[in-house]
Structure 1
């Protein structure tokens, strides 16, 4: 993930609070945290300070050491998930207490943060269609979880008169459903797969629809197109957050 020749102190444009090194350390720590919880069948959240190697290499600015640490972090979580199997009981913050939840969550965590690092390095990026589509599904499911569970979450600010958002991927292969209709009304947020005229549509290749939906690229990026009332999509991106 740490691209050869990349300045580790460079600000990541898509997550401007982080440098490239901070981004990598965040991801590696998260992978190790999940690996420990899955391996031990954690019944409650494990504090970060109890995770071996969570902080990463002591030396700063050492790309080789950071690469090796991140690779080991990935190996740890993959080994733990494979050994446990998807149905193993493991605590999660979303109430889906099994290892399968963490396999899916970490797949998308890596997908999006790898995009952060790749775009910071100025390199091309593409996500496998089935992974990108499931990442959108999961994000919408997280928004629904926040709506059900967190009374003070910003998602409740989306309630109001009926408005709709359509996500339309232009390059999906057969068997991948990447058409979405998100409904906002007085009852809150709901969604389904489907193609339908909407108040606003976000259209483009699936990778870039995903990254726009995750607020990784701006809505005026030339690789995507916004049709209709852009202000609604801006409001969605502001308030439909990660819980």
Structure 2
């Protein structure tokens, strides 16, 4: 169940894109992105811009161009340039247009995007969380600061775990996920810096039939405690476990196995 409103997700599609744009260098996007090593910053912008332009077209009823593969300038609508001003303006224009399109429609309306039919609420949330995480990629590349509103960071963890446990897509997105199926084991995630108005604890349960999760404070075979934003970035493998404010208690091999097999770029 999403924590935030449909309107908030629509707002975040534009806002997170603008925040990402702010940390990009204005003169050169050729730097390699260490958390997406096959991409440059220009590829990252093309990827985000391609996604928002494409999803906007699908929701409006015009399938348009396919999503831009990183670095692929043959896609219709992707600027054939490395000029940062042109690329980032195109990305922002796409995000703003998609947000407007979403706001004009019922969040319960259905759309099939990337072969998956779901509600516009689902797709607005997916876009907001995707851009939020790619903003971390840009920030880690340029050395810029990275902060996230606690309610949005907690919701992004919920959303990520929802994808991991969604049987329609989980084994397609995470091809090695079945390697974790087997004897019952659990992982407890605990954010250390939130207040009572933003619950930020999760239990992931692994078993012979798959994986499930639920919110709450419960003992697991392994517990990971970290500030909320760091916990989010660790789950997405943008940051390593071995950090000053991160504590692992219990079965370290289990959380290492999870992080090795559950990755979404």
The TM-score normalised by the length of structure 2 is 0.80
Query: Which residue, out of 224, 228, 241, partners 1:206?
Result: 228
Q: Deviations over 1:201-223 (max 9, x none)?
A: 12111111000001111111334
How much has 1:133 moved relative to structure 2?
Answer: 1.1
Structure ranking higher in strand proportion: 2
Deviations 1:32-74 (A, max 9, x none): 11111111187xx97448xxx86532222x1111221111011
Question: Counterpart in 1 of 2:130?
Answer: 109
2: CA distance, partners of 1:183 / 1:136: 15
SS in 2 for 1:168: strand
Match status 1:72 vs 2:93:
yes
SS at match of 2:225: strand
Deviates more, 1:221-230 or 1:27-36: 221-230
Counterpart of 1:240? 262
- Consecutive unaligned residues of structure 1, counting only runs of 5 or more, are none
State the Cα RMSD in Å.
2.6
C-alpha distance 125-48 of structure 1, shift in aligned 2 (>3 A)? closer
Residues 1:4 and 1:148: Cα distance change in structure 2 (over 3 Å): closer
Q: Which of the numbers 127, 130, 136 marks the counterpart of 2:151?
A: 130
SS at match of 1:90: strand
Q: Do the aligned partners of 1:88 and 1:99 also contact (CA within 8 Å) in 2?
A: yes
TM-score by length of 1: 0.87
Q: Secondary structure at the match of 2:51?
A: helix
C-alpha distance in 2 between matches for 1:41 and 1:89: 15
Mind listing any 5+ residue stretches in structure 2 that lack a counterpart?
1-19, 69-74
Q: Is the 8 A contact 1:41 1:88 kept in 2?
A: no
- How big is the shift at 1:140? 1.1
Equivalent position of 1:24 in the other structure: 45
How do residues 140-179 of structure 1 correspond to structure 2 at under 5 angstroms?
Answer: 140-146=161-167, 150=171, 153-179=175-201
Partner of 2:209: 187
Instruction: Give the Cα–Cα distance (whole angstroms) in 1 for the partners of residues 190 and 76 of structure 2.
Output: 39
Distance 1:139 1:6, change over 3 A: farther
Stretch of structure 1 that moved more, 167-176 or 70-79: 167-176
Residue 224 of structure 1 pairs with residue 222 of structure 2 = no
Equivalenced residue count is 237
Choose which of 53, 56, 73 in structure 1 pairs with 2:78: 56
Q: How much does 1:173 deviate?
A: 2.7
| Greater shift in the superposed pair: 16-25 or 141-150 | 141-150
